[in-house]
């Protein structure tokens, strides 16, 4: 009987104390983000560029609650699966871009779309073997876009989430790179 009374009192107190929860607060302003995932190529290039690990750093500022601009610097490492020889060789794909991000929060969930333009760099001449690179070519224009979904943590500065990017590099035989990643975002 004593136990039942204790539960009843606790339930009444919870019912009285509980109200409508506020939206989880999130900081706005300057932000930094680290993405960790995997990247690979689409189309014909997929036979020459294997899926590999990808690391990306983003930073920028919110102009409004729904619009942000920033910089994106990413590197991914891939095995070059070109006809042997050579075989088992790896290359690094480095990308740098300016980014425009649009989106907003629905409660603790953030949904964003972004577009970007910049440059892509391949660290070796391995892909000359399959004519993705021209002789001596290391740099290309890189344009693309992507989306991300975040979950705002109790700490107003931190959010975690998932995202994806698509990059087109016309200078490298129009190679298309897709990337999926987990992200951690810190907003000041």
Binding site for other proteins (CB under 8 A): 32, 34, 55, 57, 73, 75, 77, 84-87, 89, 92, 94, 121, 123-126, 128-129, 135-136, 138
Least distance to other proteins, CB of residue 106, Å? 28
Residue closer to other proteins by CB (options 123, 174) is 123
Residue closer to other proteins by CB (options 6, 92) is 92
How many Å apart are CA 56 and CA 84, to the nearest integer?
30
For residue 88, give Cα distances in angstroms to 47, 52, 77, 170.
14, 13, 13, 26
Residue closer to other proteins by CB (options 44, 128) is 128
Residue closer to other proteins by CB (options 41, 122) is 122
Sign, CA dihedral 76-78-123-170, equals: negative
Which of 97, 109, 110, 111 minimizes the C-alpha distance to 58?
97
Least distance to other proteins, CB of residue 50, Å? 16
Least distance to other proteins, CB of residue 146, Å? 19
Query: Contact, 139 vs 110, CB < 8 A?
Result: no
Least distance to other proteins, CB of residue 14, Å? 38
User: Quick one: tokens of 147?
Assistant: 């989306």
Q: What is the DSSP string of 113-179?
A: EEEEEEEEEESSSGGGGGTSS-TT--EEEEEEEEEEEEEE-SSTTEEEEEEEEEEEEGGGTTEEEEE
Residue closer to other proteins by CB (options 35, 103) is 35
């Amino acid at each position: 009987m004593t136990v039942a009374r204790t539960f009843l009192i606790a339930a009444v107190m919870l019912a009285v104390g509980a109200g409508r929860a506020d939206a989880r607060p999130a900081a706005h302003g300057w932000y930094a983000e680290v993405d960790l995932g995997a990247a690979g190529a689409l189309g014909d290039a997929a036979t020459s560029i294997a899926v590999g690990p990808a690391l990306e750093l983003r930073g920028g500022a919110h102009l409004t609650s729904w619009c942000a601009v920033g910089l994106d610097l990413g590197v991914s490492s891939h095995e070059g699966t070109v006809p042997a020889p050579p075989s088992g060789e790896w290359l690094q794909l480095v990308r740098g871009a300016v980014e425009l991000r649009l989106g907003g929060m629905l409660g603790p969930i953030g949904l964003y779309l972004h577009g970007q333009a910049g440059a892509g760099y391949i660290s070796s001449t391995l892909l000359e073997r399959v004519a993705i690179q021209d002789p001596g070519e290391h740099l290309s224009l890189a344009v693309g876009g992507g989306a991300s979904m975040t979950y705002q943590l109790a700490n107003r500065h931190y959010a975690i989430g998932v995202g994806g990017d698509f990059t087109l590099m016309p200078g490298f035989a129009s190679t298309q790179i897709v990337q999926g990643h987990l992200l951690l975002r810190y907003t000041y």
